[in-house]
Structure 1
Amino acid sequence: MSRNSGIEVLRYTAFSADPEGGNPAGVVLDASGLDDAAMLAVAAELGYSESAFLTGRSGPGEAGAREYTIRYFSPKAEVPFCGHATVATALALAERDGPGDLVFRTPAGTVPVTVTREGAELRATLTSVEPDVLDIAPDDLAEALAALDWPAADLDPALPPRIAFAGARHLVLAAATRERLADLSYDFARLEALMHRLDLTTLQLVWRQAPDVFHVRNPFPVGGVVEDPATGAAAAAFGAYLRDRSLVPGTAVLTLHQGEDMGRPGTLTVELRADDARVRVSGTGARIED
């Protein structure tokens, strides 16, 4: 726990049971008295890719789920949805109040989350808003590849570039080799400018290891950080992309490995259901002690 001008700020990592892995997030369980500038200041001081702020609570919702209004800030701006900060917040609430069902009212829409206990660990599963998959213009794709310094020949033709949405927009680019994915050194300002123009939150860079196993990386210059270590919103969008392109069965469980190249390994589980367009993303987490 840390305190910022009297504000109680918890720190959790998401998508790893090891505090040194996964993606860290700040969590403020009572941000009802904070304005936008104060929330942004907390996020900037922490320096994590995102922090989450519970700004209100309503009565028990459907089936007794606890309902909260939540907002997310990167060090530079508010974002509409953040998967890892959602998981971190759900785990913080579960440690305080016990596992169970939650509903988060996010700027992107309603996101149910279920927290269960698996042995000594807690696991949170979020259900995305309705996803969408869009084409990307050839000129915009060429600019993205130029900013990354990725030759078009290094892309995997079996996974064509698309923009995917499941609460936030992400450009999906698939590398043909693990070596291409590992070699990430990009033009920060150039990529940031393109992402602002296309309203992208991150790029979802992927390499397919097996039919249901992927390695992923997420440049995040619009948030003020070079790379996001584990990205739940992008994982949900990627699941929607794979289903939209018929690259996986309609019902599938996928494993995404992220953060290995940053020294913060994490694992995201993505579940697709044939009878539901929404995407489920789950993972463990851990408290980061001061």
Structure 2
Amino acid sequence: MWRCLHFKLGRTRLHQINVYLVNAFTEQGKGGNPAGVVLQADGLKDEQKLAIAREVGFSETAFVSSASDADFAVSFFTPTAEVDFCGHATMAAFHVMFEQGVLTQGRYQQNTKAGRLGVTIEADGHIVMSQNLPLYLKRFDYAEISALIGLDKSILASTQLPLEVISTGLADIIVPVPEGYLDKLKVNDMALSNFSRQHNVIGLHAFELCDEGEVFTARCRNFAPLFGIPEESATGSASGALACYLTQYVYPCQSNHFTFEQGSAMGRTSRITASVESDEQGISKVFVGGYAQIIGQTRPVA
């Protein structure tokens, strides 16, 4: 798939902007969450990056620049604003650099507005991202959240699990729902946008646990309408937060490995792996991983 994108900002005309189109967190080469990737973005201003992200139209576009104290600096833009971090766009960016021969298997460091984070590329192209240690920021009562997602508060309360904002790079409300209710969510985009703005969160990450012995630990859905994302099919940052949530409240082990499914409600089933390591002081490491696939790119504008 080739697309010619023309960007004009005032008197500034951008030439030779090549945007890779990538599905991240694919499941057997299918599904995943699309992201844009721009390499060698050093000369781009923030308003230009925003214009490109808006034109690409994906939930996030990653812009890779040089860095003096890391391998790369990576910034992330939605169609409406810059965000501090994006898991699936990170995976997309490093997959592109691996596929294009810029990088080989190994360990790398990226500077983001969420901090300096490690990325490991394995020989088969599997990418594992380190995330920040979890911040448990605030809790909400069941009535507050039920009004946003169209489920009665008694249904949410039946899980006996907290509704909590957790950040491993971006702050999301982690919302457990009983089995069979995930696909019944009816999110009020305007109400969730206002709520997210009021409480300084990106959005809401809902999940239902799968039965023991299934391939997936949990099925998930993510909503961030405040940032122009009514729903997305794979969310790396929220998957790290969910792994910490499950370790804290459901599976209290020193080493946990999870596999999450997301995107089936959108017809874009995605697979996300997450692992957590803990010690006497609590969670000490958080990793999120998966595969990606380039689906096209823009032709440079002459």
- Select the residue among 175, 178, 181 that pairs with 1:176: 178
Shift of 1:56: 2.2
Displacement of 1:99: 2.3
Residue 76 (structure 1) aligned to one of 75, 80, 83 = 80
Cα shift readout 1:181-225 (whole Å, capped 9, x = no counterpart): 012322111110101111111211000013571000001101212
- Residues 163 and 110 (structure 1 numbering): CA distance in 2 closer, same or farther, change over 3 Å? same
Higher relative contact order (CA 8 A, sep 6+): 2
CA distance in 2, matches of 1:158, 1:94: 44
TM-score, structure 2 as length reference: 0.86
- Relative to the length of structure 1, the TM-score reads 0.90
- What is the CA RMSD across the aligned residues, in angstroms? 1.9
Map of 1:91 onto structure 2: 95
Contact kept, 8 Å, 1:57 with 1:69, in 2: the verdict is yes
The question of whether the paired residues in 2 share the 8 Å contact of 1:124 and 1:282 is answered with: yes
In the other structure, the counterpart of 1:125 is 128
- Name the structure 1 match of 2:10: none
Identity %: 30
Kindly state the Cα deviation for residue 142 of structure 1 after the two structures are TM-superposed.
2.8
Say which one has the larger Rg.
2
Within the alignment, does 1:26 sit opposite 2:19 as a pair? no
Q: Does 1:104 align with 2:104?
A: no
1:135 and 2:141 aligned = no
The alpha carbon displacement at 1:18 in A equals: 5.7
Q: In the alignment, residue 174 of structure 2 is paired with which amino acid?
A: V
Find the counterpart in structure 2 of residue 64 from structure 1. none
Shift of 1:247: 3.0
Pairwise CA distance, 1:277: 1.9
Query: 1:15, 1:267 within 8 Å by CA — same for their partners in 2?
Result: yes
**Could you tell me which residue of structure 2 aligns to residue 114 of structure 1?**
120
The letter for the 2-side match of 1:232 is G
Equivalent in 47, 52, 57 of residue 47 of structure 1: 57
The worse-fitting range, judged by mean Cα deviation, of 86-95 and 270-279 is 270-279
Q: Relative to structure 1, is the Cα distance of residues 288 and 19 closer, same or farther in structure 2, using a 3 angstrom cutoff? A: farther
Distance 2:18 2:252 in 1: 43
Aligned-partner Cα distance in 2 for 1:225–1:79: 12
Unaligned ranges ≥5, structure 1: 62-66
Alignment of 1:244-255 (within 5 A): 244-245=248-249, 247-255=251-259
Q: Write out aligned runs for 1:140-151 (5 A).
A: 142-151=143-152
Taking the TM superposition and a 5 Å limit, the aligned residue runs for 1:204-223 are 204-210=205-211, 213-223=217-227
Q: Which residue of 2 aligns with 1:163?
A: 165
Cα distance, 1:285 vs structure 2: 0.7
Residue number in structure 1 paired with 2:267: 263
Question: Aligned residue for 1:202?
Answer: 203
* 1:238 alignment partner in structure 2: 242
Q: Residues 11 and 235 of structure 1: is their aligned pair in 2 closer, same or farther, counting only changes over 3 Å?
A: same
Moved more, 16-25 or 266-275: 16-25
| Structure 2 unpaired stretches of 5+ | 7-14, 298-302
